[in-house]
Amino acid sequence: MEAVNGYLRALVTPHLASRAVRVAFVIGTLLFAINHGAAVRSRTMTQARWISAGLTYLVPYAVSIHGQFMGRGGSKGLEQ
């Protein structure tokens, strides 16, 4: 449970978040274009698709944080 709590804290740790935001922007935009580009161009985006589009950016953010968190030794390395 300590590792989960450490990861949740890492999600909002400024020195980890700055890189994760950049990763989420680049990867999320690429995935958004692949998954929703046609719907945006044809103006058929629904509310459910916009929610999915938001998750398209959140997932790379969470994965980037996880990689940084684990690379720093999990909850033991969060203070670094």
**For the chain, how many structural domains are there in total?**
1
Residue % of the chain over a pLDDT of 90? 82
Which of 47, 24, 22 lies closest to 36, judged by CA?
Answer: 47
42 in any annotated domain: yes
Stated pTM of the model = 0.83
Three-state secondary structure of the chain: CHHHHHHHHHCCCHHHHHHHHHHHHHHHHHHHHHHHHHHHHCCCCCHHHHHHHHHHHHHHHHHHHHHHHHHCCHHHHCCC
13 in any annotated domain: yes
80 in any annotated domain: no
> What mean pLDDT do residues 16-39 have?
97
- What distance in Å separates the CA atoms of residue 55 and residue 41, rounded to the nearest whole number? 20
